[in-house]
Structure formats: structure tokens, C-alpha cells
Amino acid sequence: MRASGIVKRFGDREALRGVSFEAEAGELVAIIGPNGAGKTTLLSILAGISKPDEGEVGAIDGGVGWVPQQAALYRRLTVEENLLLFARLERHPDPQASSEQMLALTGLGERRDEIVARLSGGNQQRINIAIGLLSRPRVLLLDEPSVGLDPRRRARLWEFVSALAEDGTTVIFSTHDIQEAERYGGRLLVLADGDSLFDGSAQALREAVRREAPEAADSDFETAFVAYLQHRGH
Amino acid sequence: MRWLLLKDLQILRRSPLQAVLLVAWPILIAVLVGFAISGGPSKPRVAFLNEVPADARISVGGQQLPSANVRNRICTRVECVHVGDREEAEAKVRSGDVLAALILPGDLVDQINSLSTLTPGKPEVEVLVNEEDPIKSELVKDRIETLLAQANLAIARRIAGEGSHYLGLLIDGGQLEVLGQEFPILGLRASARILETLEPALPPALRSSLHEVTRFAQQARDNLDVAAPLIARLAQPIAVHRVSVGGSSPPLEVFAIAAAATLTLAFVAVLLVAGSLALEREENAFPRLVRGLVSPSALLVEKVLLGIAVGLVVTLLLLGGLAIFVPLAWDRFPLWLAAIVLGGAAMAAAGAALGAAAREVRAVSLLAFMVTLPVALLSLVPSGSVGAAVSDAIDVVNALFPFKPALRAMTGALDSAGPALGWPLLHLAVLAAAYGLLARLALRRFGSV
């Protein structure tokens, strides 16, 4: 996936200022940054929901799966009814088989007949991701997928997402959890106030901190990241 | 699109309150309207105290008239609650057990009889009303005034009838009953005939005078003949001759059924579609859907179809329920369908525009209710019953919202005496297209993340 010179304005405010990046097949890219950095805006542009005012997003063969931060599904339908509905809308040749596949993938087969509203936030998020995967996309965009999940469910989620990446799916996710980005993101894209400050591995970001904010070089990754942002004027 | 429709019906089925309302509403309305139409207007309960002696009669010229049966006349128009005395009547009015109390004082007939004497009295009846409720007070005033007008008319007719009888006796002759004895009355007609017979036998000097008397008798007879119908007219000086202009109108019960069906269709289509569209936003599903799965226009069409389908079922359920009480013209069923489908389409499109504008289910439900109810009530205001400026404003509202054309279409579909269907259906089609366009424009900001 490729994006170049993306600019997005909301009135006078520039949410994104010429952001460019590329992601290869099977890569796990974490988009991190403080609130209002432009993470969700960038993901919505990559997903094709919003249009950039300037710049372009490269065409992707095989489509882009999008998983919004808040579960985008029908809470009054059952787990299986949701999966079947979206499989039918995706015009799958065998919606039932696709639904079964996703139930197996999410481990929710035994709860297929439960109304989604009665499921925990974590399980709702798993269905949310499963719906995003129904189109069998080559790129999966996840907007803060682990928000509201307890550590055990969060670990299961990342296990699930990492398996997708290992199978060749490009996964681009945004997160506020810097430790999570360090642990699971093969590459980090740092945004602040619409600017792209850094694009590289977690190790490369450590080295950048050592160069630009040496006083925080030996701190934990989150402290080092905050020091880096402050040093860059954010 | 059919899968989205199926999804919406599944969601509808999962909302017990909504599903119950959709079934219960038409049944409730059908029962209420059905009983209201088939049961006739209800009679207000009025306490009735008659202190007039049973043998009292209104008399004219010393002769008693037969009973005008005022009590029966009153009690066929209100539900009379007979009370023993004034205190009981007051207590019933105060407690709200009766709407009012009507007291006929003991000297009422004497007072009426005094009207034909040199010292006329002032006949009065007494009405007790609880003034706490101004609307109730006004209602009682109207009802009692109507009752008294009817009673006065009945008495006047009796008097006029008796007057005409005496006049007839004077002209044509006959038997006059006084104090149980009958006296023959010759009458002007017979008097003139006798005088005409006698005239040739009289001396010429008297013949001229007798001729004048004979002529007077003939003139009196001829002119009093004209006076008889004049006296009869006094009982009801102004008669009403009703002339209908501007085409025929359907029976009132058909209009009531059409209004109930249109109101049901409006609430179902507007609320359901507005809520369903807002739900797509509330569930965050809209951006996911329009990312290539379904276009915003197709989503709108699906919602309008949902409104038409559910509106059709609920409205037909209502009409079926009403058919138990009132015979409906089932041979006009295809016209019913046309009116419901186009009315439902316009209402659903209006609901979609509201749903796209408000975006939250609770807000949109409230908005839809607040728009639909006043517009429906406004469309029932008869033209000419308000000032010109207000009437013009109401006309504009009725032209912009689908309720009035849907009501006209429904009335025309239910009864051949109703309005022609062509214009209302065209009006509805135009409104459906216009509101669909508005909804589509509103959806452009609907999916913003």
C-alpha cells in the first residue's frame, strides 16, 4: 500500500500535512501519535471513506479491509446473522461457508446465536475484525483495535492479527499504546499535529531518541517517545 | 438490497416493543374508530329534575294543548339521570357524575301560560354547571341551548298547530269543545253561502247592505286561508335548504377511516424509516456499508421499500379491522394499494430525509413524531375555518408534507364519492422524489468519520 503527499483539511485546520508512506505485503505498521495527530483521518483516507484534499493513495489489488475503532455491526442481530449479512453484501459465492470460516477464526462458533449486544466489548471487536476480513483483503486497516480490551483479550487479538500478517496480509493499525506499537508493530509511523515525524522500526525510533533526546534514551519506550515528541516541538 | 431489507426486518422482530406497537397500533385505532363510527355519538349525562306537575298543560285561549312531551324530547338527546331534588342535582354536578343538571321549576307551565295574558311572566329553566373546567362549561352551554331551542320549537309548533286548527274552524266551521261540551261553529264559508242564498229574497233597499256583508265573508275566508300556512311558518321562520356545490363528498365514516389509515401509515413509514436510517449511523455501519457494499442511493431505496412494505401491512391490518365494524368497498382494493404504496413512499422518503438530517435514533424519533402529528392535525383543519393568512400557511404545509395528499388519495381510494385519485397520487410521487433527493443530499455528511 502506498500513500503520497496526503493533505486533509477540516475548515482552516490541517489534519494531515503531506503524509507519505508505503507498506509491503505481510508488514505490520503501527501509526502512533498524540490525540489529534491525524491517525484516524489517515486510516479513513486509506480505507476510501474520506477523500484527501491533496495527494493520492495507490490502488491495491485485492481490496482493503477496514475495521473502525467502534464496532461497526448490528447489535440486535446475532453473531452469525452479522457475518452472513456482510458476506452476502460482499457477494460471496457461499456466504454460509465464509461465515463458518470467520466463526472458526474468531473462536466464536459456540456463541454464533447470541445477540451481539450481549457480548463483551472484546468479543464485539473480534466480530468487527472478522467482518473486516470477510472480503479477504490484502490490506487490513485497524483503528485502535485493542481499546477497551483486558490484557488477556488484547494478547489474543494480537495473536490473531499477527497470524494474518504472517499469512501475507498487510496490517496497518493505529494505537495510543506505545508499548503495544513497539511489541507488535514491525514499523512505526509517528504522526503529530498532522505531520509525519518518523517512519521506521521501533529500534530505529530508539536510536532517533538517543540522538535527539539523549536524556530519555535509557527510559522505557513510552517515556522516550514522549521526550522525542517534545524535542520535535509537539 | 434484499439482504439489507431482511436485516431490517430481523432487527424489527428483535425489538419487542416496536413489533408490538406495529401490531397493536392498527388494531387499537381500528377498534376505537370502529366503535366511534358504528356506535353513534355518545349522549352526555345530565341530571334531570322535573318539578312541573304531571297534569300541567300549556293552554292557548283557555284551551289546554296536548302534552308536547318535552321531557321525552330532552331525554332522547341526553342521558337523563333523574334526581329527586335540587340538592341531589347539585351534588351530582359537583362530583362530576353528570355534565350538568337541568331543572324544570314547578311554575314553568304557569309562566308559559301567562305569556298570552295581560301580565306575562318569564318562563325559565335552571341549568347547574361545574365551572371548574371551561371547555366542559362551554360544551354544556352549547348542548343545553340546543336542547332548549328544540323544546321551544316543539312548543311553538304545538301552538301554531292549535292556532291553525282554530283558524280552520273559523273558516270552514265544525265542532268546538269547551269544558267538555261541543258547540257547533258555522264558519265563514257556510255563512257566506247562506247569505248569498238569502240575498234575492230581501227587499232591494237591504240587498245592497247584505251584499257588502256577503262580500266581507268571502274576502275574510279567502285571506284567512292564506294566514294558516303563515302561522305554521312562525314555528320555524327560516328553513334550511341545503345545496351542495364543488362535487360530492364521501360519507363521514369513510373520511374517518381514511384519516385513521393515513395517520397510521404516516407514523409507521416516517418513524420506522427515520429510525432505521439513523440506526445505520448509530451502529457505525453506514461507512462500512457504503465502502463498496451498497451505494447511499441504494440504501435509501431499501429504507423507502422497508417503509412501504411495513406501512402496507399495518395499514391493511387496520382497514381489515375496521371492515368488521363498517362495510368497506373491497372491489376498490387495487386503488387502496395504489394510495397506500404511493402514500407510504412519500412518507418513507420524508422519514429518510429526517433520519439523514438528525442521525441519532432517539433524536430522530422525537423529531419525526413532532413533525408528523402537527402536520397531520393541520391537514384536517377545514378551509375557511381560519383566517386567510393562516389558511394560506396551512395550504403551504399541506403541499410540502405528504399527509394531505395521502389523505385525499386514501379517501378517493376507499369511496367513489371521494376526491379523484390522479392529482393526489401525482403529488405524492413528486414529494417522494423531492424528499428522496433531500435525503440523498443529507447523506453526504452522514458518513463523515
- Chain A residue numbers with beta carbons less than 8 Å from the beta carbon of B292 are 48, 63
Residue A30 pairs with which residues in a beta bridge?
A173, A188
Helix/strand/coil for B182: strand
- Chain A residue numbers with beta carbons less than 8 Å from the beta carbon of B291 are 47-49, 66
Q: Which of A39, A75, A136 to mutate to test the interface with B (most CBs of B within 10 A)?
A: A75
Tell me the Ramachandran region of residue B69: left when phi exceeds 0, alpha when psi lies from -120 to 50, beta otherwise. left
Do the Cβ atoms of B288 and A131 come within 8 Å?
yes
Which residues, numbered 5 to 24 in chain A, qualify as contacts with chain B under a Cβ-Cβ cut-off of 8 Å? none
Q: What's residue B247's pLDDT?
A: 54
Chain position carrying cell 408528523: B372
Q: What's residue B305's pLDDT?
A: 94
**For residue B43, pLDDT beyond 50:** yes
Q: Does B242 touch chain A (CB under 8 A)?
A: no
The answer to whether A41 and A15 have CB atoms below 8 angstroms apart is yes
pLDDT band, very low/low/confident/very high, at A61 (cuts 50, 70, 90): low
Q: Does B448 touch chain A (CB under 8 A)?
A: yes
Closest CA to A114 of A156, A87, A81, A137: A81
Q: Please tell me which residue, B230 or B334, carries the higher pLDDT value.
A: B334
**For residue B268, pLDDT beyond 50:** yes
Report the gap between the CA of B16 and the closest CA in chain A (Å).
11
Q: Does B4 touch chain A (CB under 8 A)?
A: yes
Q: Does B223 touch chain A (CB under 8 A)?
A: no
Report the gap between the CA of B353 and the closest CA in chain A (Å).
22
Provide the residue type at B311 as one letter. Answer: G
Phi, psi angles (nearest 5°) of residue B223 = -75, -35
**For residue B68, pLDDT beyond 60:** no
Residues A165, A46, A180: CA angle, nearest 5 degrees: 45
What digits encode the pLDDT tens for the residues A180-232? 898 998 899 999 888 988 899 988 988 888 888 888 778 888 888 888 888 88
Edge-to-edge order in the sheet of strand B45-50: B79-82, B45-50, B100-104, B126-129
Contacts of B432 (CB under 8 A, 6+ apart): B304, B342, B345, B346, B348, B349, B402
Do the Cβ atoms of A72 and B283 come within 8 Å?
yes
Percentage of chain A beyond pLDDT 90 is: 24
**For residue B425, pLDDT beyond 50:** yes
- Chain B residue numbers with beta carbons less than 8 Å from the beta carbon of A131 are 288
**Structure pTM?**
0.67
What digits encode the pLDDT tens for the residues A68-106? 888 888 988 999 999 999 999 988 889 999 999 888 877
Element (H, E) at B314: helix B296-325
What is the average per-residue pLDDT within A52-64?
A: 80
CA distance B177 to B184: 9
Q: Does A70 touch chain B (CB under 8 A)?
A: yes
Average per-residue pLDDT for chain B: 80
Residue of A nearest to B286 (CA): A72
Q: Please tell me which residue, B147 or B186, carries the higher pLDDT value.
A: B186
Q: Does A102 touch chain B (CB under 8 A)?
A: no
Contacts of B378 (CB under 8 A, 6+ apart): B394, B397, B398
Q: Which of A49, A80, A128 to mutate to test the interface with B (most CBs of B within 10 A)?
A: A49
CB-neighbour burial class of residue B216 (10 A; exposed 0-12, middle 13-18, buried 19+): middle
Chain position carrying cell 429526517: B354
The beta-carbon neighbor of B449 closest among A50, A73, A77 is A50
Pairing relation of β-strands A187-192 and A195-200? antiparallel
**For residue B14, pLDDT beyond 50:** yes
**For residue B449, pLDDT beyond 50:** no
pLDDT band, very low/low/confident/very high, at B447 (cuts 50, 70, 90): low
Do the Cβ atoms of A77 and B11 come within 8 Å?
yes
Report the gap between the CA of B342 and the closest CA in chain A (Å).
28
CA distance A203 to B372: 62
Residue of B nearest to A45 (CA): B449
Ranked by mean pLDDT, the top range of B221-225, B253-257, B342-346 is B342-346
Helix/strand/coil for A137: coil
**For residue B240, pLDDT beyond 60:** no
Q: What's residue B403's pLDDT?
A: 93
Residue of B nearest to A39 (CA): B449
**For residue B410, pLDDT beyond 80:** yes
Helix/strand/coil for B85: coil
**For residue B333, pLDDT beyond 90:** yes
What is the average per-residue pLDDT within B40-50?
A: 74
Q: What's residue B339's pLDDT?
A: 95
Q: Running DSSP on this structure, what letter comes out for residue B332? A: G
- Chain B residue numbers with beta carbons less than 8 Å from the beta carbon of A40 are 449
The beta-carbon neighbor of A48 closest among B6, B10, B291 is B291
Do the Cβ atoms of A49 and B447 come within 8 Å?
yes
Start-to-end CA span in chain B (Å): 24
- Chain B residue numbers with beta carbons less than 8 Å from the beta carbon of A71 are 284
Start-to-end CA span in chain A (Å): 28
Residue B127 pairs with which residues in a beta bridge?
B102
Q: What's residue B69's pLDDT?
A: 64
Residue of A nearest to B292 (CA): A90
Do the Cβ atoms of A49 and B291 come within 8 Å?
yes
Residues A75, A141, A137: CA angle, nearest 5 degrees: 90
The answer to whether B238 and B246 have CB atoms below 8 angstroms apart is no
Q: Which of B7, B290, B299 to mutate to test the interface with A (most CBs of A within 10 A)?
A: B7
In whole angstroms, what separates CA B84 from the centre of its chain? 35
Q: Please tell me which residue, B340 or A93, carries the higher pLDDT value.
A: B340
Residue B183 pairs with which residues in a beta bridge?
B176
Helix/strand/coil for B312: helix
Q: What's residue A123's pLDDT?
A: 84
Buried/exposed code over A19-55 (b: 16+ C-beta within 10 A; e: otherwise): bebebeeebbbbbbbeeebbbbbbbbbbbbbbebeeb
Q: Does A71 touch chain B (CB under 8 A)?
A: yes
Q: Does B14 touch chain A (CB under 8 A)?
A: yes
Chain position carrying cell 515528541: A229
The beta-carbon neighbor of B449 closest among A44, A77, A85 is A44
Q: Please tell me which residue, A47 or B20, carries the higher pLDDT value.
A: A47
The count of C-alpha atoms lying within 13 angstroms of the C-alpha of B150, restricted to the half-sphere facing its C-beta, is 16
Q: What's residue B350's pLDDT?
A: 94
Q: Please tell me which residue, B359 or B205, carries the higher pLDDT value.
A: B205
What digits encode the pLDDT tens for the residues B144-157? 777 777 777 777 77
Which residues, numbered 290 to 319 in chain B, qualify as contacts with chain A under a Cβ-Cβ cut-off of 8 Å? 291-294
Q: What's residue A32's pLDDT?
A: 92
Helix/strand/coil for A146: coil
Which residues, numbered 245 to 284 in chain B, qualify as contacts with chain A under a Cβ-Cβ cut-off of 8 Å? 283-284
Percentage of chain B beyond pLDDT 90 is: 20
Cell of B241: 335548504
Residue of A nearest to B9 (CA): A77
Phi, psi angles (nearest 5°) of residue B9 = -70, -35
Closest CA to B331 of B405, B409, B416, B411: B416
The answer to whether A29 and A161 have CB atoms below 8 angstroms apart is no
Closest CA to A222 of A199, A186, A187, A190: A190
Element (H, E) at B373: helix B361-379
What digits encode the pLDDT tens for the residues B116-138? 666 777 888 888 877 665 666 66
Helix/strand/coil for A53: coil
Q: Please tell me which residue, A31 or B117, carries the higher pLDDT value.
A: A31
CA distances from A118 to A76, A124, A201, B206 (A): 9, 9, 39, 122
The answer to whether B264 and B318 have CB atoms below 8 angstroms apart is yes
CA distance B297 to B286: 12
What is the average per-residue pLDDT within A42-65?
A: 83
Closest CA to A83 of A102, A66, A68, A108: A102
What digits encode the pLDDT tens for the residues A158-191? 888 888 889 888 999 999 888 889 899 889 999 9
